[in-house]
Chains A and B, each alone.
Chain A
Amino acid sequence: MILSFAIWIPIFFGLIILFYGSEHPSAGVRWLALIGSIIGFVATLPLILDFDIANAGMQFVENIAWIPRYDISYHLGVDGISVWFIVLTAFINIFVVIAAWEVIDKKVSQYMASFLILSGLMIGVFAALDALLFYVFFEATLIPMYIIIGVWGGHNRIYAAFKFFLYTLLGSLLTLIAMLYLYNSTNTFDILTWQKAPLDIVEQVLIFFAFFMAFAVKVPMWPLHTWLPDVHVEAPTGGSVVLAAIMLKLGAYGFLRFSLPIAPDASQYLGPFIIFLSLVAVIYVGTVALVQKDMKKLVAYSSVAHMGFVTLGFFLFSPLGVEGGIVQMISHGFVSGAMFLSIGVLYDRMHTRQIADYGGVVHKMPAFTAFAVLMAMANCGLPATSGFVGEFMVILAAVDYDFLIGILSATALILGAAYSLWMVKRVFFGAIHNKHVEELKDLNAREYFMMAVLTICVLGMGVYPKPFTDIIHPAVINLLQHVAVSKI
């Protein structure tokens, strides 16, 4: 029942807020949302505390028939790959609520409700072991996100909301066809059964590409990444945080849950192709990030580059690479979340995200600068931060796979350092040349709390990643053993 609670508690609170909040003052709504998100987070903790490391299979399984006509069931379960993302989703949700505390002043109840419902749906994606259940959660996340971008976004929000929705829908509809195809050959929507189903290479390649469309758009992989910068720029702070920290992971997670185990031969066969796309994302998109003038756009492109690292790690088919990819995903959840929160902190005060409008922020906001610089360092993979662990593991695996790929992927560290540090230099250091910067006030207690907790997470994971890798390792080994066996 733990997984059901993790999914439905936030959704339940979201609905309560939606109905209660339209006629009540926003203060009560905010507290209710905070309580809901905290209870939702606490509900996920038993997943980690009671997790059986020795068991590489599915745990906390729930299985109830849902649509008997198509043998679709409400089948939930987690393994080492998915469990951390559930906790991370619930964790980040608390910060989204806090970040919006006094910043969002119109339609507060709808804002809070959208995020709570969204977080429940995303947990559902990570917990689903039935393909149709996965699909329903995966698609349903579009509705709250569409509303979030469109109602509370920037001046070009409508374009961004449509782009987000239609791009994602394109990918997932093709996936639906692949799922129906698999249903027809196996007569079930159970993912674990699909993983064992024999398929010939042509079927595997077609299915791989159908799934690829959904997941590559979501990750996003080059060249399907163009929606992400537009959406990030227009989305409100909370929307950007959820998008970067959690939503992008839905796609990468899909590769591990569907593409690799269901079409292992196609994955091996097309591996070099995905590695190529990932390297383009790492190098080319990293370079694009260098020249951005808008901070959010810069971090958005850097997200694409980091997610390129993740997919690179997955398709090296070595334990180190896959684990590195997963660790990188978790770390990126913290780091990108914190970076978008930092940009939100600046934006709430200055109402601009242009790098050129800033300069010398350190003189007015020293505490904030300390946190933000640390996050920028984590973003470029400084040792002792969480960003280092995943990147280092993936680079090691890449060198092991092919020396040239190792070298190319390692340039990410240089590029990452270049765009992160250059932005830090232009925003935080130097002389103040904008009179609005003169009027900046340092973090208030609410913002201080958010940054401090995320800093602890980033440093903690960087210094001692063992709790994460211990849980991930058996599931990854299990997955790779499965992928190594041909299905033809």
Chain B
Amino acid sequence: MQAFDLFAILPELVLLVVTCVLLVASVYVRERQPAVAGVEQDIFHTPRGVGFVYFFTIILLAYLAIAFASRIGDVSLVAMNGLFQSDPFSNLLKACSCGAVLVSLIYSKQYLMDRGMFRPDFIVLSLLALLGQLVLVSGSNLLTLYLGLELMALPTYALVAMRHNSEKSVEAAIKYFILGALASGFLLYGMSMLYGVTGSLDLIEIFKTVADPRVNHLVMAFGLVFIVAGLAFKLGVVPFHMWVPDVYQGAPTAVTLMIAAAPKIAAFGLLFRLLVNTLLPLLGDWQPMLVLLSILSLVVGNITAIAQTNIKRMLAYSAIAQMGFVMLGMLSVFDDHAFSASTYYVITYVLTTLGSFGLLMLLSRKGYDCETLDGLKGLNKKHPWFAFIGLVMMFSLAGIPPTVGFAAKLSVLEALVDAQHTFIAIIAVIASLIGAFYYLRVVKVMYFDEPLHETTISGSTFAKGLLSLNCILVLVLGIFPGGLMAICLDAMRRTLLGS
């Protein structure tokens, strides 16, 4: 290993080491805060050292986010004998992932404390999942990609099952685990076919060999189908979306946020690594598949969401539809603007998701989970500012200016029209028109209805302030979208030219 390699993987190493240290240290550090009353006092529930772990995790994540953000401008590096690459694209996504986990943890703290789940293992599992995401985004070898994928997925299964006395959580966890394993199997099968045809696991080697006329195109195409199916599972697009609503609804909201935010970025990173970095010569094969998947997602996601009364389930179907939009961005022509629309979309989508679930968690309190539309009724009467935050998030998801969701939809639609897919763009806008209905219904419930019962805002001032900042960011990025767009474009352009 060279010093050069060490630099490339330094943040990941720091994350791994600190996570292990925290895991061990948490056993020995005595918790100063008294245990929350009413929470079972046994070996699983006594919070031990959690304040300590939480504190250092926040610092660690802030450091990682800044470290990756400062690397966006750097040149691409390939380390560990071609197993790992650090390029502008991966650094951008990794900075966003770390930021998303950081914000998720801050939003979740009070929610977890009220439910006796604010424990070192929750935080450590989140950090391990994050490590998986970072490895996944940076993988430059099929094995690294698979390793990252599993490292991301396994802690998440455990997180979903954390509320082990709730039937729904356990059901969601089993469903998630089985379908997730199936998806990994698909992906692995597809990778094995790629390996069989090209004789290499290295993404760059495969990229060079794929275009070779001697390669068996039929096996290649089969491998591609399995890979796309596996990716579709991970992203949660129709027809591989069945796990998404159940897991979103069944998991505790804090865990839902851990699944809904950062892993979307990583899944998009995987999509990019496999389809663009590796199989770009098969563009003509995978783009039609994505057309089908994304149109189905837009239609099914948006229409099914209308029937939901549980907000988490509704946001799950909304996520399915939004991922459809991300995939549509992948249909852009391969020029120097290629795929930046998708990157921009996924980053802004995660920003909005953080805000929406963060609001749901602040509205939950001890013994009450804000999950249904009824829970939001009349929010404007009691807490106008938080109702406003909800309004901004919903309009952003619906893509109404001046929120960031509009800028994101604009860039994807522009990419579509640019690629002569005007008809698909029309389908997409009609689907988002249908989608606008259920986002509007959430606003309606918050603003037009009378409150059913007392609504309180729990959570620290810090979490509230961060949520407000999140809302302002959604507005400001919507009014001045140029900066982030340019960053995505620049990162994408330098990554593609580098590879």
Binding site for B on A (CB under 8 A): 22, 66-70, 107, 110, 132, 135-136, 139-140, 142-143, 146-147, 150-151, 157-158, 161-162, 165-166, 169-170, 173-174, 176-177, 180-181, 183-184
Contact = CB atoms under 8 A, between A and B. Distances in A.
Contacts of A110: 380, 384
B74 interface: no
Nearest to A137: B401
A140 B402 CA distance: 6
Nearest to A138: B401
B400 interface: yes
Given A69-B485, A161-B448, A180-B425, A169 B401 contact: no
B440 A180 contact: no
A173 B417 CA distance: 14
A339 B479 CA distance: 37
Contacts of A162: 437, 440, 444
Contacts of A107: 380
A177 B429 contact: yes
B400 A139 contact: yes
Contact of A173 (B391, B433, B486): B433
B448 A157 contact: yes
B433 A136 contact: no
Interface string B369-388: 00000000000100011000
A70 B411 CA distance: 9
A134 B72 CA distance: 34
A151 B448 contact: yes
Contact of B448 (A70, A150, A181, A183): A150
B430 interface: yes
B444 A158 contact: yes
Interface string B415-458: 00110001001100110110011001001100110000000000
B163 to A, nearest CB: 35
Contact of A170 (B406, B411, B433): B433
B433 A169 contact: yes
Contacts of A157: 448
A150 B447 contact: yes
Given A165-B440, A170-B433, A173-B433, 5 more contacts: A69-B482, A140-B400, A151-B448, A180-B425, A184-B414
Given A162-B440, A177-B429, A67 B481 contact: yes
A140 B401 contact: yes
B436 to A, nearest CB: 6
B406 A150 contact: no
Contact of A136 (B391, B401, B417, B440): B401
A243 B481 CA distance: 30
A66 B417 contact: no
Contact of B426 (A69, A132, A169, A177): A177
A111 B422 CA distance: 40
B383 to A, nearest CB: 10
Nearest to A150: B448
B395 interface: yes
B468 to A, nearest CB: 12
6 contacts: A107-B380, A110-B380, A136-B401, A180-B425, A181-B417, A184-B417
A183 B384 CA distance: 39
B413 interface: yes
B489 interface: yes
Contacts of A180: 410, 413-414, 417, 425
Contacts of B432: 173
Interface in B348-387: 380, 384-385
Q: Which interface residue of A136, A166, A170 has the most chain B CB atoms within 10 A?
A: A136
Interface of B: 380, 384-385, 391, 395, 400-402, 406-407, 410-411, 413-414, 417-418, 422, 425-426, 429-430, 432-433, 436-437, 440, 443-444, 447-448, 480-482, 485-486, 489
A135 B401 contact: yes
A314 to B, nearest CB: 27
Contacts of B384: 22, 110
A357 B169 CA distance: 59
Contacts of B425: 177, 180
A366 B481 CA distance: 56
Nearest to A206: B422
Contacts of A184: 414, 417-418
Nearest to A149: B448
Q: Which interface residue of B413, B444, B486 has the most chain A CB atoms within 10 A?
A: B444
A151 B447 contact: yes
Contacts of A165: 436, 440
B403 to A, nearest CB: 9
A70 B486 contact: no
A69 B429 contact: no
A396 to B, nearest CB: 41
Contacts of A169: 400, 433, 436
B157 to A, nearest CB: 39
B433 A158 contact: no
A165 B380 CA distance: 20
Contacts of B407: 67
A66 B433 CA distance: 27
A69 B489 CA distance: 9
B485 A146 contact: no
A471 to B, nearest CB: 30
B447 A69 contact: no
A177 B414 CA distance: 8
A142 B400 contact: yes
A143 B486 contact: no
A22 B414 CA distance: 40
A174 B385 CA distance: 33
A186 to B, nearest CB: 13
A270 B478 CA distance: 37
Given A150-B447, A166-B436, A70 B414 contact: yes
Given A135-B401, A151-B447, A177-B422, A68 B406 contact: no
A401 to B, nearest CB: 35
Contacts of A150: 444, 447-448
Contacts of B417: 177, 180-181, 183-184
Contacts of B482: 66-69
Contacts of B414: 70, 180, 183-184
Given A69-B482, A150-B444, A136 B395 contact: no
A67 B413 contact: no
Contacts of B400: 139-140, 142-143, 169
A136 B409 CA distance: 13
A361 to B, nearest CB: 32
A143 B395 contact: yes
Given A136-B402, A162-B444, A68 B433 contact: no
Contacts of B402: 136, 140
Pairs of residues from A and B, 3 with the lowest C-beta to C-beta distance, nearest first:
A173-B429, A136-B401, A180-B417
Contacts of B380: 107, 110, 151
B310 to A, nearest CB: 20
